[in-house]
Every structure is written in C-alpha cells, then in structure tokens.
C-alpha cells in the first residue's frame, strides 16, 4: 500500500483534511445558494397560494354579498307580489259582490214586473169576466122584462120619436 494511504502517516490525514475542507468549501459555496433558492421558491409558492386564497376569499365574500342582496330583493318582490295578489283578490271579490247585488236587484225587478203583469192580466181577466157576466145578466134581465111586457110605453115612445127624427 502506498505510504500516503497509510493511516499511521500524517500525509494521509492531511489529504483527508484537505478533501474535507475542499468538500466544505465547494458544498458550502453552493449549498446555501441552493437552500436559499429552494426556500425562496417555496416562499414564493406559499405567497402565491396565500394571494390566490385571499383573492378567492374576496370573490366568495363578494358573491355572498350579491346573493344576500339578491335574496333580499327576491323577498321584497315576493312580498310585493303577495300584496298585489291580495289587493287584486279583494278587487275581484268586491267586483263579484257588486255584480251579484246588481244581478239580484235586476232579477228582483224582473220578478216584480212579472208579478205586476200577472196582477194586471188577472185584473183584466176579472174585469172581462165581470163585464161578460154583467152583459149576460143584463141580457137575462132585459129578456125577462121584455118577455113580461111585450110593449113598453117608453120603448114605444122612443121608437115613435126615432121614426119621426129619421125622416
């Protein structure tokens, strides 16, 4: 074995120390840069994730506020529609009541007119029947009177005057 690889020789330990020193210098010069670069990249990634999360949170809050405002508008609109529907129903009910009252009044007036017409017709029929009865009674009375008295001095006198006036 060569003399510089002999652990009992000082040259070997000087060589090992030199290699360790060079390794530390080379690794020491590059390692912090690599570590810093990795840490900076991780920091940038974390910061971008935080910024994205903040942006998403702001957007979610904006959407939530919009949805709340939209819900409030929808509730107000629903209340307005309900009030309008109740008002319209009240108008329809009032209109239907007015039409019903008008229809009942018109039917009552028609019924009263029919009753009045029926009463007038019945009165006319009674008058006609009374007139027919009076004519029949007068005919019977006159027939009986003429049959009892063949000659009536008043009728004879009236016929005589009639004959003279006609000439």
Model pLDDT, residue 12: 85
The model's pTM is: 0.40
Provide mean pLDDT across the span 126-144. Answer: 82
User: How far apart (Å, rounded) are the C-alpha atoms in residues 86 and 90?
Assistant: 6
Q: 3-state DSSP call for residue 2?
A: coil
Answer yes or no: is pLDDT of 159 > 80. no
The radius of gyration of the chain's CA atoms, rounded to the nearest angstrom, is 67
Model pLDDT, residue 143: 76
Model pLDDT, residue 57: 96
In this structure, are residues 19 and 5 in contact, taking their beta carbons and an 8 Å threshold? no
User: How far apart (Å, rounded) are the C-alpha atoms in residues 59 and 49?
Assistant: 15
Q: For residue 22, give the nearest of 33, 34, 14, 12 by alpha carbon.
A: 14
Q: What is the dihedral of CA 93, 96, 98, 101, to 10 degrees?
A: -120
pLDDT in tens, 83-92: 999 999 999 9
Task: Quote the mean pLDDT of the chain.
Answer: 86
Provide mean pLDDT across the span 130-151. Answer: 75
Distances, alpha carbon 78 to alpha carbons 5, 41, 65, 83, 84, in Å: 95, 54, 20, 9, 10
Residues 6+ apart with CB under 8 A from 12: 4, 5, 6
**Tokens standing for 67?**
């949805």
pLDDT in tens, 42-51: 999 999 999 9
**Tokens standing for 109?**
């007036």
pLDDT confidence band for 166 (50 / 70 / 90)? low
User: How far apart (Å, rounded) are the C-alpha atoms in residues 108 and 103?
Assistant: 8
* Residue 150 per-residue DSSP state: S
């Amino acid at each position: 074995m060569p003399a510089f690889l002999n652990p009992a020789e000082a040259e070997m330990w000087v060589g090992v120390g030199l290699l360790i020193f060079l390794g530390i210098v080379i690794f020491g010069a590059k390692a912090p840069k690599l570590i810093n670069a990795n840490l900076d990249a991780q920091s940038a990634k974390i910061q971008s994730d935080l910024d994205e999360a903040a942006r998403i949170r702001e957007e979610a809050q904006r959407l939530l506020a919009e949805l709340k405002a939209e819900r409030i508008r929808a509730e107000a609109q629903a209340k307005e529609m309900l009030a309008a529907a109740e008002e319209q129903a009240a108008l329809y009910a009032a209109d239907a009541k007015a039409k019903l009252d008008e229809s009942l009044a018109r039917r009552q007036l028609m019924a009263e007119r029919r009753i009045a017409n029926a009463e007038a017709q019945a009165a006319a029929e009674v008058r006609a029947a009374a007139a027919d009865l009076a004519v029949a009674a007068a005919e019977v009375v006159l027939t009986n009177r003429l049959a009892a008295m063949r000659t009536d001095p008043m009728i004879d006198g009236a016929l005589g005057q009639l004959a003279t006036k006609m000439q």
